[in-house]
Amino acid sequence: MKVLVRKQGCVGHARCAAAAPEVYKLDESGYIDFTEKEIPQDLEAQARRGARACPERIITIIGDGESA
């Protein structure tokens, strides 16, 4: 599966990183540091959890039959 992020919508709540720190890394300013990332199977549940935690809903999960 893959995670897509609309970085311009990130306001730095860091809830994604709090919910799934192994998936959602933050830059030095506290904003998500990627726009697209392949997720290994063992981190898929964390990726979905982090996406659901985002209040701006800027994170999209694709390729696993579910959307967050």
Instruction: Classify residue 67: in a domain, yes or no.
Output: no
Task: Decide if 68 is inside a domain.
Answer: no
Alpha helical stretches, state H, the chain = 15-19, 44-53
Percentages of the chain per state (helix, strand, coil), in multiples of 5: 30, 20, 50
How many domains are there within the chain? 1
Banded pLDDT at 22 (limits 50, 70, 90): very high
Q: Is the pLDDT of residue 25 over 70?
A: yes
The verdict on residue 45 lying in a domain is yes
Its pTM stands at 0.87
29 found inside a domain: yes
What pLDDT does residue 63 have? 87
Domain span at residue 6?
2-62
The SS3 call for residue 9 is helix
Domain CATH for 6: 3.30.70.20
Do residues 33 and 4 touch, judged by C-beta distance below 8 A?
no
